[in-house]
Every structure is written in structure tokens, then in C-alpha cells.
Structure 1
Amino acid sequence: MSRVLIAGESWVTQSTHIKGVDHFTTSSYVVGVEPLRKALRSRGHEVTHLPAHLVPAEFPADPSEYDVVVLSDIGANSIQLAPEVFEQARPGADRLANLRDWVSNGGGLLMVGGYLSFTGFEGKAAFRNTVLHEALPVELLPEDDRVELPAGANATVTEASHPALGGVSGEWPPLLGYNRVRPRPETTVLATLNDDPLVAVAGYGQGRSAVFTSDCSPHWAPASFCEDWDGYARVFGGLVEWLAG
């Protein structure tokens, strides 16, 4: 059993309704982590979810109580800029540097794709400009890195025997998009999408890091992928177990 922290995978949506001269707003809170949390728990892992709105205040300065940290659809600013730094101009912990060092000392890091992962929508995820970029098994693009696949595309598995894929076999269900990245020379690419890395792994110091460049939940991962496919738990379970060593 591994202790896993998942940061991100939640969001607030606000809508404005305009009816003639009158208007009003409604808000909703959505949690997208459930497919991943369910899959990891089914394999015996202890999962802690830190929703996106709590990340700035509560992301740990020292992640050593966990074996694997998963960053999913949460930008670099939310981790780097704690309230005392952003709102009060007081020095605080550099949590991305601490996370990088924790990986180098034996931790396991997984970044999952989304609009606020890697470089992200309009470059707003911004991990390329941080020290955590060093720990990832891929090079990030300097521009918006999203590739939308509205008709869907199937992954191509390139290293089926690697333990990080959890023994999954057969064709993967289609995915609807991903973040484009470039593998580093020492990286092992386990699966591709449109000839770009989908699953890639590498060592970093004494630790390990991995990426899954598409989504772990809608919208890039439709229900056929994250709910109906028995390979979903194998892939993400295999990644976490490989990262935990």
C-alpha cells in the first residue's frame, strides 16, 4: 500500500444568466477526482485528495508523509503562491523546490494532463518556468500545449511489458485531447497519442517521475476510458506502484 496525495482535480464554475434586462449568476463546485481515487483505492492505496481551492493554503511544504504526489489540473501558481506570500508579501516555503528535492531524495511524482497542467491553456499552468520542470521526465513547450482531439484518438502502447502500465492489454478507449510534451533523452515512453508521449517515466536522483499527458477524468477522458474500461485502474495503479518503488 502506498500513501498518495492528489492535488487538484476540482473546480468552481460560475454562470451568468441574462433574461431581458435582468441577470443573475449561479455557481457550482465540481470534483473530478473520483475515477482516479476509486481506481487507486481499489488497488489498496491510501488516497488523500487536496481540492484545487485548498492547494494554495494547504499544499504541504514537506511532502514526506506521502510516497507519491499526483498533480492533476492544478497550475504552478497555486502551489508556489501561499496566501502569506501572495497576499501579505511575507517570505514562505518554496513548495515546488521542496517537491523537486523530495523526488530527488526518493519520492514519486506523477503529473496528469489538463488545461492547468504542464504549460496548459494560454500558458497559464506555467510549470516550464519553475524548478519542478527539472524533475519531470519531459520537456514542456513554451506556448499553449493543448492538442484537442474532438473525434477521439487511440493510444499506441510502445512498452507493454513495463510495470508502470500495470499489465494492461488490448486496445485503449479513445481520448479527446492531451498536453504536447517532448521526452528527455533518458525518458522511457510507454504509450503515445498522435506520436506524442502519453505515458512517460524516468528516474530523477533517487526518486522517480512520470506523466500521463491526457486527462484522468472528463473532459479529455470520456466515460468509456475512465469509468467503463478495466484498464484504467491498471494503468494508474501501475504508475503509482512503479513511482513508489
Structure 2
Amino acid sequence: MSRVLIAGESWITQATHIKGVDHFTASSYVVGVEPLRKALRSRGHEVVHLPAHLVPAEFPTDLSDYDVVVLSDIGANSVQLAPEVFEQARPGTDRLAALRDWVSSGGGLLMIGGYLSFTGIEGKAAYRNTVLHEVLPVELLPEDDRVELPAGAHATVTDAAHPALGGVEGEWPSLLGYNRVLPRPGTKVLATLNDDPLVAVGEYGQGRTAVFTSDCSPHWAPTHFCEDWDGYARVFGGVVEWLAE
């Protein structure tokens, strides 16, 4: 059993309703982590979820309690800039550097795609200009890296025997988009989407890193992928278990 920290995968939506000359706003809080959390728990892993709005204040500088850290749809600023740095202009710990050093010492890191993963929408995820970029098994684009696939597209498995894919067999359900990245030398690309890396793994120092460039929940991962497909738990469980070895 591994202890897994998932940071991100939640958001707050605010809508403005305009009715004639009057208007009001309504807010909702959405948690998208449940399919991934359920899948990893089904394979015996202990999962700690740190919602996106708590990441700036509570992302740990000491990661020794965890075997694997998952960053999913949470931008670099949220991890890197603690309130005392961003709001009070006091020097503090660079938590992305701490994460890099933890991986180099033997930790496992997984980044999952989304509008605020990799480079992200309008470049706002912004990992390319951080120290964590060197840890990832892929090269990030300098511009908005989202590829939308409204009609859906199926993954092509390129290394079905790799343990990180969990032994899943058959065709994968379609996905609706992903973040486009480029493999680095030495990276193993285990599955592609639209001929770009979907699942890729590598090593950094004594640790291991992996990416899943589509989402783990809607909208890029529709329910037929993240809820109805029994391969979902095998793929994400396989990646986490490979990272934790």
C-alpha cells in the first residue's frame, strides 16, 4: 500500500445571472477527484486530497509522509507561492524546489492533465518556467497547450507490457482532450492520443515521474472513461504503483 497526496482537482464556479435590469451572482464548489480517489483506494492505497483552494496555504514542504504526489489541474503559482510570500512579501520555502528534491531522493510524481496542468489555458499553469519542468518526463510547450477533441479520440497503447499500465487490455474509451507535450530523450511513451504522449514515464535522480496528459474526470475524461471502464483503476493504479516502487 502506498500513501498518495493528490493536490488540486477541485474548483469554485461563479455565475452571473442577468434578468432584465437586475442581476445576481451564484457560486458552487465542485470536487473532481472522486473517480481517481475511488480507483486508488480500490487498489489498497491511502489517499489524501488537498483541494485546490487549500494548496497555497497547506501544500507541504516536507513530503516524507508520502510515496507519490499527484498534481492535477492545479497551477504552479498555487503550489509555489505560499500566502506569506505572495501576500506579505516574506521569503519562504520554494515548494516546487522541495518537490523536485523529494523526487530526486526517491519520491514519485504524477502530473495529470487539465486546464491548469502543464502549460495550460493561456499559459496560466506555467510549469515550464519552474524548477519542476526538469523533473517531468516531457517537455512543455511555451504556449497554451490544450488540444480539444469534441468528437472524442481513442488512445493508442505503445507499450502494453509496461507495469505502469496495470495490464489493461482492449481498446480504451474515448477522451475529449489533453495537454500537448513532447517526450524527452529517455522517456518511455506508453500510450498516445492524437499521436502525442498520453501516458509517459521516466526517472529523475533516484525517483520516478509520470504524466497522464488528459484528465482524470470530466470534461476531458467523460463518464464512460472514468466511471464505467474497469481499466481506469488499472491504469491509474498501475502508474501509482510503478511510481512508488
Q: TM-score, normalised by structure 1?
A: 1.00
* TM alignment of 1:118-197, pairs within 5 A: 118-197=118-197
How many Å apart are 1:64 and its aligned residue? 1.3
Q: Does 1:49 align with 2:49?
A: yes
Q: How many residues align?
A: 245
Mapping 1:54-69, distance limit 5 Å? 54-69=54-69
Counterpart of 1:214 in structure 2 is 214
Q: How does 1:41-120 map to 2 (within 5 A)?
A: 41-120=41-120
Unaligned runs of 5+ in 1: none
Offset of residue 230 of structure 1: 0.1
| 3-state SS in 2 of match to 1:30 | strand
The 1-side partners of 2:186 and 2:102 are apart by 20
**RMSD between aligned alpha carbons?**
0.3
Query: Unpaired runs of 5+ in structure 2?
Result: none
Q: 1:233, CA displacement in angstroms?
A: 0.1
Correspondence for 1:27: 27
1:94 Cα shift?
A: 0.3
| Alpha-carbon separation, structure 2, partners of 1:195 and 1:83 | 40
Q: Match of 2:128, SS?
A: helix
Secondary structure (helix, strand or coil) at the match of 1:90 reads: coil
Give the 3-state SS of the residue equivalent to 2:77 in structure 1.
Answer: helix
Runs of 4+ in 1 over 4 A off after TM superposition: none
Q: Where does residue 40 of structure 1 map in the other structure? A: 40
Q: What amino acid sits opposite 2:96 in the alignment? A: L
Identity %: 88
Q: Hey, what's the Cα distance between the residues in 2 that align with 1:62 and 1:97?
A: 11
State the Cα deviation string for residues 66-118 of structure 1 (Å, max 9, x = none).
00000000000000110000000001110000000100000000000000000
Partners of 2:36 and 2:24 in 1: CA distance:
35
